[in-house]
Amino acid sequence: MSPTIKDVAKKASVSLSTVSLVINGKSNVRDETRKKVEAAISDLGFHPRRAARGLASNKTNNIGFILTEDHFSRAEPFYTKIFLGTEFEARKYNYYILLTTVPKKFNENLHLPRFLLERNVDGVILAGKVPTKLIDIIQKANLPLILIDYSTPTHKTSKVLIDNHQGTSLAVEHLIQNGHSKIAFIGGEISHPSICERLRGYEETMHKSNLSTSNLIFCNEPNTDVNNGYEATCSLFKKGSPFTAIVASNDTVATGAMRCLREKNINIPQDVSIIGFDDIEVCLQVEPRLSTIKVFKEELGAIAVRRAIDGIESKTLLLEKTIIPAELVIRESTGRAPNS
Amino acid sequence: MSPTIKDVAKKASVSLSTVSLVINGKSNVRDETRKKVEAAISDLGFHPRRAARGLASNKTNNIGFILTEDHFSRAEPFYTKIFLGTEFEARKYNYYILLTTVPKKFNENLHLPRFLLERNVDGVILAGKVPTKLIDIIQKANLPLILIDYSTPTHKTSKVLIDNHQGTSLAVEHLIQNGHSKIAFIGGEISHPSICERLRGYEETMHKSNLSTSNLIFCNEPNTDVNNGYEATCSLFKKGSPFTAIVASNDTVATGAMRCLREKNINIPQDVSIIGFDDIEVCLQVEPRLSTIKVFKEELGAIAVRRAIDGIESKTLLLEKTIIPAELVIRESTGRAPNS
DNA sequence: ATGAAAGCGCTAACAG
DNA sequence: CTGTTAGCGCTTTCAT
């Protein structure tokens, strides 16, 4: 058996409660006593058992991380990075992250995460678009809740968001500086607030520069995967205005667009420039390498964890909204507009 | 406060221990009593608190999942899928997965995962190449241990492996059937047993068909990322024999090779065929779509969880070695050899 | 500043 | 088959 607080107490010749005070970093311990206890702890290689602490203090030191199944499989590299960010940050504060997924069509009787039922988390982080019913349930359970990359007007929650609007602004400005004026926007799932904001950022920046967007927006796709990018680009060719650049709603969509361009023997970036959003691995694996708007994914996760812990430890659920700027990354898929 | 076993006992007019017996599915409870208890449980929406169970039973119902940091960032989509496989399977058995990473250059005093120190897991799964020191420590702690996609001759452990050898055999045979005979193998990190086996599978299948591999193997790269694939292919051009097909040690390496081919204006698959290994998302995002050897990643994770639970619940650590076959996936990057 | 004692919610002998 | 009882290892009043 590993040593317990009792062993430590004996070794340091103090009482159990004194050891407990030291473990929990409470102030009212004489320095000398603290030293003694700390020595005993490190001598014995003592580590408090979580289960015991949890039972006594009614706290789990776990944070639940929930995303929808299809988000995690479709946009995997994006959410994996966010998750990793949460894990690293949680470690610093001695929390564990419990990750789980829920189906897109969520049924609260079937799919409620176990850690919610078992009250095995002190707070919850939701990433991406999630069922609003799930938000309701978590709020009713009175658990600190942080949304990442999602927000809904009907629910008041803390959230950590990407500056999508600024992101596509950056993208459009970069293209304009390269002499482009006929710039298209493609990608689906406008129902996701982030995608919608990306579209708005594009539109506003275009209009601010007196550029037309008519017949240059193709967002009727139901999703944001490779095929949607491909289809949207096909539509752009069939029904759209002429263009020399494409802003894609994310990197995956951009790769679909690239496929379409290649099929039509259009050179990137000589004939058409293309820029993505997110900065996932694939940007470096396609040919040419994809310019994009970088999202600080690990940071999003880390900040969410800090907010969650704030909520857990302060007991006052203050609602904070944090917006993280995005950053332009220029690679090989964007260049001067033809004849400019 | 959520209901406790006490509330259930009162409601069902039985004792605490009877409720406990029901919860734990022990057999010695009269059917009628069980029904009564179950009704009370569902009426109250009772869920046993993990911390309490854990403390009383000295069991956590957690399984630790450890991988090296650079594995998780470099070969992220691969390991993410394995991790997801563990999570889904663990759910069925009421376990949680605690994921954490350790640095490649592992120092046991600095980097020992918390859940090991705090004895907060009942078993451990290691994925990919991990420090052997870590294996030592886990075995010394007498925790059931399962390796995924790794094995070391110096340690006796249960493991779940990919049939790498058969995988590259499949790849080579597919190419031979398409008229290729000058087939190269590229990719680095032969120190990883999996990569080494992939090389061996290639070699043996080539030799079995009386094909030469001389000056067709380029594996001096230190890693298996995009650049290594690129560099290995450059070497192949500079120092190698002529070839019409490439077997890459994984998909990421394959994308690097594709970059090199494109730079040299070599068409895939008209001039050179290329096939990867793993079947990660990027296969569908590059142009042309990459033929590959599919690894059942979620399955690897799921089986590892079952093995771990076997070990936890049986208390007898039997060493099992499970090998999962790989599968040929033909897409657009492989075709008939030129002039055949 | 430190110690004594109660108890968190459950499991696990043991009795009956 | 069911109930009684004693902890599991820690936190947390409450005294001192």
What CATH number does the domain containing B26 carry?
Answer: 1.10.260.40
Domain span at residue A129 reads 62-162+297-325
Q: Is the pLDDT of residue B188 over 80?
A: no
Q: State pLDDT tens for residues A256-285.
A: 999 999 999 999 999 999 999 999 999 999
Q: Which residues on chain B are in Cβ contact (under 8 Å) with A117?
A: 47
Residue A231 placed within a domain? yes
Q: Is the pLDDT of residue A67 over 70?
A: yes
| Per-residue pLDDT, A287 | 93
With distances taken from each CA to the C1' atom of nucleotide C9, the closest residue turns out to be B52
Residue B332 placed within a domain? no
Mean pLDDT of chain B: 93
What is the largest distance, in Å, between two alpha-carbon atoms of chain A? 84
Question: Higher-confidence residue: B142 or A170?
Answer: A170
End-to-end CA distance of chain A: 75
Q: Under an 8 A CB cutoff, do B98 and A96 touch?
A: yes
CA distances from residue A282 to A35, A270, B29, B286 in whole angstroms, order as listed:
52, 21, 57, 9
Q: Is the pLDDT of residue B75 over 70?
A: no
Are A275 and A303 in a shared domain? no
Q: Under an 8 A CB cutoff, do B52 and A47 touch?
A: no
Q: Is the pLDDT of residue B74 over 70?
A: no
Shortest CA distance to A75 belongs to which of A126, A129, A147, A112?
A129
Q: Is the pLDDT of residue B164 over 90?
A: yes
Mean of the pLDDT values across residues A150-165? 94
Are A281 and A310 in a shared domain? no
Q: Is the pLDDT of residue A314 over 90?
A: no
Task: Give the confidence band of A340 by pLDDT, cuts at 50, 70, 90.
Answer: confident
Q: For strand C, is any atom closer than 7 Å to the CB of A24? A: no
A282 in reach of chain B (CB within 8 A):
yes
Mean of the pLDDT values across residues B214-242? 94
Mean of the pLDDT values across residues B121-137? 95
What's the CA dihedral at B223, B225, B230, B233 to 10 degrees?
50
Q: Is the pLDDT of residue A75 over 70?
A: no
Q: Which residues on chain B are in Cβ contact (under 8 Å) with A226?
A: 284-285
Tokens for B121, please give them. Answer: 């897991």
* Percent of the residues in chain A that have a pLDDT greater than 90, as a whole number: 78
Q: Under an 8 A CB cutoff, do B252 and A285 touch?
A: yes
| Per-residue pLDDT, B254 | 97
| Per-residue pLDDT, A315 | 63
Are B97 and B51 in a shared domain? no
| B139 and B145 Cβ atoms separated by less than 8 Å | yes
Q: Between the CA of B70 and the C1' of D11, what is the distance in angstroms?
A: 39
Q: For strand C, is any atom closer than 7 Å to the CB of A105? A: no
| Per-residue pLDDT, A149 | 95
Q: Under an 8 A CB cutoff, do B96 and A115 touch?
A: yes
A3 in reach of chain B (CB within 8 A):
no
| Per-residue pLDDT, A119 | 87
As ranges, strand C nucleotides with an atom below 7 A of a protein CB are: 1-14
Is B63 in a helix, a strand, or coil? Answer: strand
A153 preceded by cis ω (within 30°)? no
As ranges, strand D nucleotides with an atom below 7 A of a protein CB are: 1-13
| Per-residue pLDDT, A91 | 94
Residue B90 placed within a domain? yes
Q: Between the CA of A83 and the C1' of C10, what is the distance in angstroms?
A: 32
Tokens for B36, please give them. Answer: 């009564």
Q: State pLDDT tens for residues B140-159.
A: 998 999 999 999 989 999 99
Mean of the pLDDT values across residues B8-12? 88
Mutate to test the interface with A, among B80, B87, B121 (most CBs of A within 10 A): B80
Question: Rounded to the nearest 5°, which phi and psi values hold at A147?
Answer: -95, 140
Are B155 and B79 in a shared domain? yes
| Per-residue pLDDT, A59 | 93
* Percent of the residues in chain B that have a pLDDT greater than 70, as a whole number: 98
Are B191 and B228 in a shared domain? yes
Q: Between the CA of A9 and the C1' of C4, what is the distance in angstroms?
A: 14
Question: Higher-confidence residue: A73 or A263?
Answer: A263
Q: Under an 8 A CB cutoff, do A99 and B97 touch?
A: yes
Are A145 and A264 in a shared domain? no
Q: Between the CA of A305 and the C1' of C1, what is the distance in angstroms?
A: 35
B49 in reach of chain A (CB within 8 A):
yes
| Per-residue pLDDT, B86 | 97
Residue B217 placed within a domain? yes
Measured CA to C1', what is the nucleotide nearest B16?
Answer: D3
| Per-residue pLDDT, B317 | 67
Q: State pLDDT tens for residues B262-320.
A: 999 999 999 999 999 999 999 999 999 999 999 999 999 999 999 999 999 886 668 89
Q: Which residues on chain B are in Cβ contact (under 8 Å) with A98?
A: 96, 98
| Per-residue pLDDT, A118 | 87
A77 in reach of chain B (CB within 8 A):
yes
Residue A332 placed within a domain? no
CA A11, A14, A15, A18 dihedral sign is negative
Are B288 and B186 in a shared domain? yes
| Per-residue pLDDT, B231 | 96
Single out the residue in B57, B76, B101 at which a domain terminates: B57
Of the ranges A285-294, B76-85, B188-197, which is most confident? Answer: A285-294
Q: State pLDDT tens for residues B96-105.
A: 999 999 998 9
Neighbours of B5 (CB within 10 A): 21
| Per-residue pLDDT, B235 | 96
Task: Find the residue in A nearest to B94 (Cα).
Answer: A114
Are A121 and A139 in a shared domain? yes
Long-range contacts of B52-59 (CB under 8 A, 24+ apart): B52/A51, B52/A55, B53/A51, B54/A50, B54/A51, B54/A54, B55/A49, B55/A51, B55/A52, B55/A55, B59/B122, B59/B312
Q: Which residues on chain A are in Cβ contact (under 8 Å) with B259?
A: 287
Residue A338 placed within a domain? no
Are A284 and A189 in a shared domain? yes
Are A303 and A287 in a shared domain? no
* Percent of the residues in chain B that have a pLDDT greater than 90, as a whole number: 75
**Which single residue is written with the structure tokens 């609003």?**
A132
Query: Rounded distance, CA B279 to CA B250, Å?
Result: 8
A248 in reach of chain B (CB within 8 A):
no
| Per-residue pLDDT, B227 | 93
pTM comes to 0.93
CATH number of the structural domain spanning residue A169: 3.40.50.2300
CA A128, A132, A137, A139 dihedral sign is positive
Single out the residue in B15, B40, B57 at which a domain terminates: B57
Residue B173 placed within a domain? yes
Q: How many residues in total does chain A contain? A: 340
Q: Is the pLDDT of residue B339 over 90?
A: no
Task: Give the confidence band of B2 by pLDDT, cuts at 50, 70, 90.
Answer: confident
Task: Give the confidence band of B189 by pLDDT, cuts at 50, 70, 90.
Answer: confident
Are A203 and A278 in a shared domain? yes
Are A290 and A169 in a shared domain? yes
Q: How many domains does chain A have?
A: 3
Query: Rounded distance, CA B21 to CA B272, Å?
Result: 66
B316 min Cα distance to partner chain A (Å): 19
Task: Give the confidence band of A223 by pLDDT, cuts at 50, 70, 90.
Answer: confident
| Per-residue pLDDT, A1 | 67
Q: Is B327 exposed, middle or buried (0-12, 13-18, 19+ CB in 10 A)?
A: middle
Q: State pLDDT tens for residues A43-58.
A: 999 999 999 999 999 9
Q: State pLDDT tens for residues A111-133.
A: 999 999 888 999 999 999 999 99
Which DSSP string do the residues of B125-159 spell out, in sequence order?
Answer: EEESS--HHHHHHHHHTT--EEEES---TT---EE
Mutate to test the interface with A, among B46, B50, B58 (most CBs of A within 10 A): B50
Mean of the pLDDT values across residues A213-240? 94
Of the ranges A191-195, B71-75, B248-252, which is most confident? Answer: B248-252
CA B84 to chain centre: 10
Residue B79 placed within a domain? yes
Q: Between the CA of B35 and the C1' of C8, what is the distance in angstroms?
A: 28
Single out the residue in B14, B32, B57 at which a domain terminates: B57
Q: State pLDDT tens for residues B166-184.
A: 999 999 999 999 999 999 9
